[in-house]
């Protein structure tokens, strides 16, 4: 956009005949190489401690809550889920026809501009409102002095209103504007369901420093197995949602075609970030008497989700 802010006359004229420039990685998402990463998980012992502290709440009633000894952790596992992080922008520079109305001082009769005489048009005169009728004299009844008095109010002549000075104007026709559309957006999407995920977005923003890069899924799988402390690990698996789908959803958010235009000069849809990030969740199976339940803990922040 900066290159258009100080455009010269010759450069502007060249846009009238130049072909449209269309570029940006977003037009061909298959060619984009996504970054692969994963969250460093909380230690299993920390997640288990959270579970032990919160487990009775899952089975508590209004006035009765089981003791910690009555609620037993029967099993635990670490589940790894894929999430997409994508950001990008849409930029469109275009030409459109325009007309301008230029107002001038009241004493201007004509304007000579760019080799042409511009005739001054005057706005339609405003019709003044009719003055209010003068109040009628009032007559007072016979008083104590035994004679009639006529009281005539002092009439005030309406003050002359200052005349409004109307500005003249002339029109500039056949103008061509160089305008632009610019939108940018982020998407944080669950790679399994294809739905934007607020919980993941918050975790990503608050714990970005816990994200590690990886070369492939096998490297991520090995990293989680080493940190799982012997519990069962589910995943990581490839996402069910393709990167093409994520980029298309971003395009829907940022794309906005000009309402009216003469010609598109530059059309840009560019992806500034495309990352596939795996996030861990601890699942604890709980039992209280004949009732069972599952507690899911965010494996990054340590927050109890269910």
Whether the per-residue pLDDT at 196 is higher than 60: the answer is yes
DSSP output for the chain: -HHHHT--HHHHHHHTTSPPEEE-GGG-GGG---EEEEEPPPPHHHHHHHHHHHGGGGT--SS----TTTEEEEEEEEEEEEEEEEEEEEEEEEEEEEEEEEE--TT--EEEETTEEEEPB-PPPPPPPPPPPPPPPEEPPP-TTSS--EE-PPP-PPPPPPPPPPPPEEEEEEEEEEEEEEEEEEEEEETTT--B-HHHHHHHHHSGGGEEE-SSHHHHHHHHHHHSTTSEEE-----SS-HHHHHHHHHHHH----SS-SEEEEEEEEEEEEEEEEEEEEEEEEEETTEEEEEEEETTT--B--
pLDDT at res. 205: 96
Output the pLDDT for position 287: 93
pLDDT for the residue 6: 86
Per-residue confidence (pLDDT) for residue 137, from 0 to 100: 58
Higher pLDDT, 60 or 119: 119
> Is residue 123 predicted with pLDDT exceeding 70?
yes
pLDDT at 124 over 80: no
pLDDT confidence band for 164 (50 / 70 / 90): low
In tens, the pLDDT along 77-100 reads 999 999 999 999 999 999 999 999
């Amino acid at each position: 956009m900066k290159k258009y802010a100080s455009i010269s006359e010759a450069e502007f004229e060249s846009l009238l005949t130049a072909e449209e420039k269309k570029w940006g990685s977003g037009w061909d998402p298959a060619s984009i190489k996504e970054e692969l990463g994963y969250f460093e998980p909380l230690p299993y012992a920390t997640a288990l401690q959270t579970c032990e502290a919160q487990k009775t709440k899952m089975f508590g009633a209004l006035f009765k809550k089981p003791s910690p000894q009555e609620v037993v952790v029967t099993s635990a596992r670490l589940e790894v889920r894929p999430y997409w992080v994508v950001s990008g922008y849409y930029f469109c520079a275009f030409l459109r026809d325009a007309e301008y109305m230029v107002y001038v001082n009241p004493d201007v009769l004509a304007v000579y501009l760019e080799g042409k005489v511009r005739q001054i048009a005057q706005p339609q005169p405003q019709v003044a409102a009719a003055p209010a009728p003068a109040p009628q004299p009032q007559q007072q009844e016979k008083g104590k002095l035994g004679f009639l008095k006529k009281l005539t109010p002092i009439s005030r002549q309406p003050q002359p209103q200052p005349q409004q000075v109307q500005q003249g104007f002339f029109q500039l026709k056949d103008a061509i504007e160089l305008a632009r559309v610019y939108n940018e957006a982020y998407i944080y999407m669950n790679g399994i369901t294809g739905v934007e995920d607020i919980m993941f977005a918050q975790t990503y923003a608050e714990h970005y420093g816990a994200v590690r890069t990886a070369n492939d899924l096998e490297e991520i799988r090995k990293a989680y197995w080493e940190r799982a402390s012997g519990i069962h690990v589910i995943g990581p698996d490839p996402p069910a949602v393709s990167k093409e789908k994520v980029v298309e959803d971003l395009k829907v958010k940022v794309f906005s075609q000009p309402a009216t235009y003469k010609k598109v000069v530059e059309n840009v849809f560019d992806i500034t970030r495309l990352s596939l990030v795996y996030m861990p969740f601890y699942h604890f199976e709980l039992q209280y008497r004949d009732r069972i339940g599952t507690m899911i803990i965010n494996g990054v922040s340590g927050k109890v989700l269910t």
